[in-house]
Amino acid sequence: MEKRKKRIFDIIQIGRRDDFISRAFDIFIVAVILVNIAVLFLGTFEGLHRYDAWFKWAEAVTIFIFCIEYALRIWTAEYLYPDRSRARAVWRFLCSFDGIVDLLTILPFFFLSGFVAFRMLRVVRIFHLFRINAYYDSFHVITSVLYEKRNQIISSVFIILILMMASSLCMYSAEHEAQPEVFNNAFSGIWWSISTILTVGYGDIYPVTVLGRVMAIFISFLGVGAVAIPTGIISAGFVEQYTQLQNKSKSGGGARGTVSMTVDDSSPFAGQQVKEIESEYGIDVIAFVRNGAVVLPSDYNEVKKGDMVIYQDLGTKRG
């Protein structure tokens, strides 16, 4: 029974090319997600209302598949979090991003669709598209860049927010007397500041005084520079990541201070998560090659048979 349960876990997790069933399941789930999202969008077109019966049928089938997958992931949660007890592993999955998205995707279909607020939960299905990111290693670079540059991105967003608040207050001071119905308080200029800083403005709210227009010119220039900050940070992060991937692919882990090891049945790394390997063996996992693609690891990536692990020995092995 345990062997069958472990096999089901391997199938519903990201598969390897040499595991036909697991790879086929990956492709199948991606197709189901895309069908579910497509039905959600097509159902909003009035010209397609004659196909509502087909859309409801397709929605019911895809939700049923999501329910089965959700139940299987709960059933095999202890393999996803092997360092926890079964109850704690299940709870960890239920509180994870995937677990919450899965639940909020399923619930509205059954008994919450009669309320507008709950019907809006169907939008959560779009977040299923992030699941596709897990099935394609090249997409993993995006999340890696955002995670590694998160502090710089948060700082730049904070600067933009300050600029928006300051520009709103300045525009209120300059325009309130001339346009009291438009700039009636300090926060009424938020829409103007957002549209001016992040775009070229929509023209629905604009300054009419000389002072307001002069400030709008300077705020527009500052907005261009402020928006360029997070863009530059993310762009630089992509360049760094792809450069690292290319260097690791060419060197095959042969760089000074690094070791590469192909995982087989006798390897102690097989079936363990990256954070567990790093903690237990005192190493720093730089990357691992899976199915010919270099993957940048996260703490909960599970190393599987056939992977080539590239790491640095820190000399701090536990015990």
Residue with tokens 């760094």: 240
Final residue of a structural domain among 218, 248, 278: 248
Final residue of a structural domain among 193, 220, 248: 248
Domain CATH code at residue 154: 1.10.287.70
Residue 256 binned pLDDT confidence (cut-offs 50, 70, 90): very low
pTM: 0.55
pLDDT surpasses 50 at 255: no
Kindly provide the b/e burial profile for residues 262-292, where b requires at least 16 CB atoms within 10 angstroms of the residue's own CB: ebeeeeebebbbbebbbbebebbbbbbbbee
Average pLDDT of the chain? 76
Q: Which of 148, 304, 310 lies closest to 245, judged by CA?
A: 310
Range of the domain at 302: 253-313
Which pLDDT value is given to residue 120?
Answer: 56
Predicted confidence (pLDDT) per residue in 117-139, tens digit: 555 556 666 666 665 555 555 55
Give the phi and the psi of residue 255 in degrees, each rounded to 5: -65, 155
In a domain, 143, yes or no: no
Cβ 95 vs Cβ 128: under 8 Å? no
- Does residue 243 share a domain with residue 220? yes
Domain CATH code at residue 309: 3.30.70.1450
Predicted confidence (pLDDT) per residue in 81-101, tens digit: 877 888 888 898 888 877 887
Q: Which of 227, 158, 164, 229 lies closest to 191, judged by CA?
A: 164
Close Cβ partners of 212 (under 8 Å, ≥ 6 residues apart):
171, 174, 175, 178
Q: How far apart are CA 296 and CA 137, in angstroms?
A: 9
Domain CATH code at residue 42: 1.20.120.350
Q: How much of the chain exceeds pLDDT 90, in percent?
A: 2
> Taking the alpha carbons of 126, 131, 133, 136 in that order, is the dihedral positive or negative?
negative
Q: Which of 32, 95, 27 lies closest to 58, judged by CA?
A: 32
Predicted confidence (pLDDT) per residue in 195-209, tens digit: 777 766 666 778 888
- Does residue 128 share a domain with residue 180? no
- Does residue 22 share a domain with residue 123? yes
Higher-confidence position of 139 and 62: 62
In a domain, 141, yes or no: no
- Does residue 193 share a domain with residue 170? yes
- Does residue 222 share a domain with residue 284? no
Q: How far apart are CA 241 and CA 232, in angstroms?
A: 14
Q: How far apart are CA 141 and CA 148, in angstroms?
A: 10
pLDDT surpasses 60 at 69: yes
Q: Per the structure, how many domains does the chain have?
A: 3
- Does residue 126 share a domain with residue 33? yes
Residues 227-252 have a mean pLDDT of: 71
- Does residue 266 share a domain with residue 244? no
In a domain, 292, yes or no: yes
In a domain, 318, yes or no: no
Residues 300-312 have a mean pLDDT of: 76
- Does residue 262 share a domain with residue 244? no
- Does residue 107 share a domain with residue 93? yes
In a domain, 127, yes or no: yes
Residues 277-304 have a mean pLDDT of: 73
Predicted confidence (pLDDT) per residue in 2-32, tens digit: 788 888 888 777 655 667 787 788 788 888 8
In a domain, 94, yes or no: yes
- Residue 57: both structure tokens together: 């049928």
Final residue of a structural domain among 223, 248, 273: 248
- Does residue 169 share a domain with residue 227? yes
Residue 296 binned pLDDT confidence (cut-offs 50, 70, 90): low
